Amino acid sequence: MKRIGLGVLAAALGLALAAADYSPAGDGQGKDKDKDKKGKSDLFKQKDKKPPPKPRDIVAAIELKDGSTVQCQIVSPKEMSVQAGDLGVVAVPMDQVRFVELEAPLNRVSTFGLDLYIGKIQTQKFQVKLVNTGKEFTIPLDRVKRMVFPDPPAPVEPLLPLEPGKDKDEAGKEKPDD
């Protein structure tokens, strides 16, 4: 029974020393190991840093009041301002807009986040670039009947994180069993 008590006491003493070694007040090797770990993680962070993604092109189908329909890229503005009743002026990013309807006295702006704003659109004109011809035009708001934006592309990211040091090609291959 005394041997078990001594074993427990020795284990507790060992844990106390180990905790003191890794504490901020301890001057053991724990600090050096933590610095090494931080240095290695900083290297991984530098390797994993990618340039910010290029903003996606905002493509829309715009139906005009004369019945014309054009496929175009919205060059500017980057935000659409809507005077929405109780909310006041709301600036909706153009890359989040899903549908705009301008036929009724109050306009409807629907987003991919399933928000719906009903009010008057404050943005007066849209600078667009036609998809087929590449020509740029300015379309005044009073000539637009509706605008429809396709769903944004789904983000392509791996489900499981890649192990550091492996290329994307190697990560997909299975290791043969020896």
Q: What pLDDT, in 10s, does the model give residues 165-176?
A: 555 555 455 555
Q: Does 27 fall in a domain? A: yes
What gap in Å lies between CA 101 and CA 93, rounded to an integer? Answer: 16
The reply to whether the predicted model has a pTM over 0.85 is no
Q: Which domain holds residue 132?
A: 59-148
Q: Does 170 fall in a domain? A: no
| Chain-centroid distance, C-alpha 47 | 20
What gap in Å lies between CA 135 and CA 157, rounded to an integer? Answer: 34
User: Looking at the structure, do residues 126 and 100 belong to the same domain, yes or no?
Assistant: yes
What is the pLDDT at residue 162? 63
Q: Does 169 fall in a domain? A: no
- CA dist list (Å): 59 to 18, 27, 82, 132: 60, 60, 20, 12
What is the pLDDT at residue 177? 56
User: Looking at the structure, do residues 29 and 108 belong to the same domain, yes or no?
Assistant: no
Which helix (H) or strand (E) segment holds residue 64: the answer is strand 59-64
Instruction: Please state the rounded mean pLDDT for residues 149-178.
Output: 62
Lowest mean pLDDT among 123-137, 138-152, 164-178: 164-178
Q: Does 115 fall in a domain? A: yes
How many domains would you assign to the chain?
Answer: 2
What gap in Å lies between CA 2 and CA 157, rounded to an integer? Answer: 58
User: Looking at the structure, do residues 72 and 114 belong to the same domain, yes or no?
Assistant: yes
User: Looking at the structure, do residues 117 and 71 belong to the same domain, yes or no?
Assistant: yes
88: pLDDT confidence band, cut at 50, 70 and 90?
very high
Query: Of the spans 15-29, 99-113, 141-155, which averages the highest pLDDT?
Result: 99-113
Contact call for residues 139 and 125 (beta carbons, < 8 A):
yes
User: Looking at the structure, do residues 92 and 17 belong to the same domain, yes or no?
Assistant: no
3-state class percentages of the chain: helix first, strand second, coil last, to nearest 5: 30, 35, 35
151: pLDDT confidence band, cut at 50, 70 and 90?
confident
Q: Does 21 fall in a domain? A: yes
